[in-house]
Structure 1
Amino acid sequence: MKQSVPSEISLEFESKTIAARQWGDTSGEPVLALHGWLDNCASFDRLAPLLEGINLVALDMAGHGRSYHRSSHANYNIWEEAEDIIGVSEALGWRNFSLLAHSRGAIASVITAGTFPNRVKRLALIDGLAPAATKDEESPDILAKAIAQRARYRHRKAKVYPTLEGAVEARMNGLFPLSEWAARVLTERGTRPLEGGFTWSNDPQLMAASTAKLNEVQIRAFISRLNMPVRLVLAQGGITNMIKKLRPILAGYENIEVRELPGSHHLHMEDGAEGIAEWFGPFLRGESD
């Protein structure tokens, strides 16, 4: 059955609850969509309707949107997303599936596909592939920073906006500037009402640095295990120097196709959506295999 508007679904596994929107053709190719840091599944509201023949389930990842928050003693290290991604696929009854992902979600997708290459059929990535590599000698400072930030953000008082419009404006002018429409759909999904107005529903601990980070050898180990076809869209106006930094990493991987498109980091939510859909649609349906 084709769905022109999404269905709100809830996925339960291991005492966790992941909220999601299901788009498209429920008999089509199974695809999980993963958003970026501090975003939510509304990140795909513009792109999803353009992808025909796909059973697209866009997640609110842990700590984001309407999904569960990890305990105050847990972490949001990027590789821990792999367990939730596999858990969601099991809840859906999907043994094999593809991943469509943006930014932090793209990094989590590469780690998941590198860990379980027999489960992931294709990767369609938007402005993200691998985290910035760190050096081994930086590990003590990274851990110290994480512990300090976790203590700070665990007890951080929520910022309250008197109106939803105030939160939308703040999102428009955030780390990555957004159009009014993009900021609004993310804000409507990513806030909750409370006395005096609205606040973000994201887990404050998402703001804390990771307790450990991957070095170059580890990053290449995950990428080298990607035995499935990969398509990567890089935004020409996206994260500073991302294209320059990723080119050396990508050299030698013939299964990874790269296309640079005009637009900002969230180009899939703006005018870049049509170009991305044109390239990703047949790929995710398996027509280019």
Structure 2
Amino acid sequence: MNLDAEEIRLRLPHIELAGCLFGPKNGQPVIALHGWMDNLMTFARLVPHLRGLRILALDMAGHGHSAPRPTGASYSLFDYAVDALHAADFMGWQRFSLLGHSLGAIISAMLAAAMPERIDKLALIDGLIALTIPAQHAPGAMTAALSALASPKIRQSRAHPDRQSAITARMRGIVGVNQEAAERLAVRGLAESAEGFRWNNDPRLKLPSHIYLTPEQAHAFTRALSMPTCLILAEQGLLKVRPGVEQLLKELPLCVHQLPGRHHLHLESEQSAQAIAERFNRFFAT
């Protein structure tokens, strides 16, 4: 990471994760969780502008430089929450705050709702509520997940002939990013082999989930949040288009700031990163 960062390996009871530490050692403890198929470099623009925080940014399991889940294990929201708690214990942090983007924001909100005695504050970027399905669709979702896991060969990520081709593929991904954002994510996400350049995320991350929350369950987690929470909403992001989110945000005592930009606004634009940091610095200082 092209920042004043300390690389760290977290040998947890069940998995080994990679991370970076930023900020003063006596700063407020914060664990930062990135989005799906990203890595901790998603915070590369934002972190330099944050003040007074001791941030542990993680490559989540199966992403970046962290280990994948063991064979037979899955990438559920619950498992990511367990990882975050073990990471806090590894650091000796009984209480800490969470900074999350997208999937990382969803995990942060669910963990905070379930374990409020451990969490001081929540700082979220374009993420809050888990993807949901109606209860009657749950058996079919599990059928799809079991069938995918039973496949004799899970398709590996595509090998690209050169680095720029791999970066271009990330720019055109399911959630696209601009060139500079893709290049930053490539620092920890791209690996060279005899076949070419591959994104090193565990291919199982793309398999269907075995279980989803219902809308009622997902909203119950959000309504259970009791700690100060600051949410950055991207004008062209993904959270705004989720059904029922606009009404839910009106009902919750959250500090919400809507800013111009896409889903990765904190990484794609220096101006957006500074604007987010300005709001988060005020939030953490109060």
Which residue of structure 1 aligns with residue 220 of structure 2?
A: 221
Which residue of structure 1 aligns with residue 16 of structure 2?
A: 17
Instruction: Give the drift of 1:252.
Output: 2.6
Which residue of structure 2 aligns with residue 270 of structure 1?
A: 268
Question: What SS does the corresponding residue of 1:76 show, helix, strand or coil?
Answer: coil
Q: 1:157 to 1:61 in 2, by over 3 A?
A: closer
Q: 1:178 to 1:49 in 2, by over 3 A?
A: same
User: Counterpart of 1:228 in structure 2: which amino acid?
Assistant: M
User: Counterpart of 2:9 in structure 1: which amino acid?
Assistant: S
Which residue of structure 1 aligns with residue 115 of structure 2?
A: 116
Contact kept? 1:234, 1:243, Cα under 8 Å: no
Q: 1:49 to 1:168 in 2, by over 3 A?
A: same
Question: What SS does the corresponding residue of 2:31 show, helix, strand or coil?
Answer: strand
Question: What SS does the corresponding residue of 2:74 show, helix, strand or coil?
Answer: coil
Instruction: Give the drift of 1:77.
Output: 1.4
Question: What SS does the corresponding residue of 1:19 show, helix, strand or coil?
Answer: strand
Instruction: Give the drift of 1:102.
Output: 0.3
Instruction: Give the drift of 1:266.
Output: 0.1
Instruction: Give the drift of 1:152.
Output: 4.4
Instruction: Give the drift of 1:259.
Output: 1.3
Which residue of structure 2 aligns with residue 178 of structure 1?
A: 177
Bigger CA drift: 50-59 or 235-244? 235-244
Which residue of structure 1 aligns with residue 141 of structure 2?
A: 142
Question: What SS does the corresponding residue of 2:278 show, helix, strand or coil?
Answer: helix
User: Counterpart of 1:279 in structure 2: which amino acid?
Assistant: R
Instruction: Give the drift of 1:195.
Output: 1.0
How far apart, in 2, do the equivalents of 1:6 and 1:146 lie?
38
Contact kept? 2:126, 2:239, Cα under 8 Å: no
User: Counterpart of 1:274 in structure 2: which amino acid?
Assistant: Q
Instruction: Give the drift of 1:106.
Output: 0.4
Instruction: Give the drift of 1:110.
Output: 0.8
Instruction: Give the drift of 1:261.
Output: 0.6
1:205-253 CA-partner distances (Å, limit 9, x unpaired)? 1001110100122213322321101011110011274366312223332
Q: 1:140 to 1:262 in 2, by over 3 A?
A: same
Which residue of structure 1 aligns with residue 247 of structure 2?
A: 248
Contact kept? 2:231, 2:255, Cα under 8 Å: yes
User: Counterpart of 2:20 in structure 1: which amino acid?
Assistant: R
Which residue of structure 1 aligns with residue 281 of structure 2?
A: 281
Instruction: Give the drift of 1:204.
Output: 0.6
Task: Provide the aligned length of Structure 1 versus Structure 2.
Answer: 283
Question: What SS does the corresponding residue of 1:156 show, helix, strand or coil?
Answer: coil
1:154-181 CA-partner distances (Å, limit 9, x unpaired)? 5213421122121111111212222211
User: Counterpart of 1:52 in structure 2: which amino acid?
Assistant: R
1:92-124 CA-partner distances (Å, limit 9, x unpaired)? 111111011000000000111111100010000
Question: What SS does the corresponding residue of 1:273 show, helix, strand or coil?
Answer: helix
User: Counterpart of 1:268 in structure 2: which amino acid?
Assistant: H
Contact kept? 1:125, 1:233, Cα under 8 Å: yes
Question: What SS does the corresponding residue of 1:166 show, helix, strand or coil?
Answer: helix
User: Counterpart of 1:16 in structure 2: which amino acid?
Assistant: I
Q: 1:169 to 1:50 in 2, by over 3 A?
A: same
TM (normalized to structure 1)? 0.93
How far apart, in 2, do the equivalents of 1:142 and 1:104 lie?
19
How far apart, in 2, do the equivalents of 1:4 and 1:159 lie?
30
Q: 1:247 to 1:154 in 2, by over 3 A?
A: farther
Question: What SS does the corresponding residue of 1:251 show, helix, strand or coil?
Answer: helix
User: Identity across aligned pairs (percent)?
Assistant: 38
Contact kept? 2:156, 2:203, Cα under 8 Å: no
User: Counterpart of 1:211 in structure 2: which amino acid?
Assistant: H
How far apart, in 2, do the equivalents of 1:117 and 1:154 lie?
41
How far apart, in 1, do the equivalents of 2:256 and 2:209 lie?
28
TM (normalized to structure 2)? 0.94
How far apart, in 2, do the equivalents of 1:202 and 1:128 lie?
21
Instruction: Give the drift of 1:15.
Output: 3.8
Which residue of structure 1 aligns with residue 132 of structure 2?
A: 133
Q: 1:263 to 1:243 in 2, by over 3 A?
A: farther
Question: What SS does the corresponding residue of 1:242 show, helix, strand or coil?
Answer: coil
Question: What SS does the corresponding residue of 1:25 show, helix, strand or coil?
Answer: coil
Which residue of structure 1 aligns with residue 97 of structure 2?
A: 98
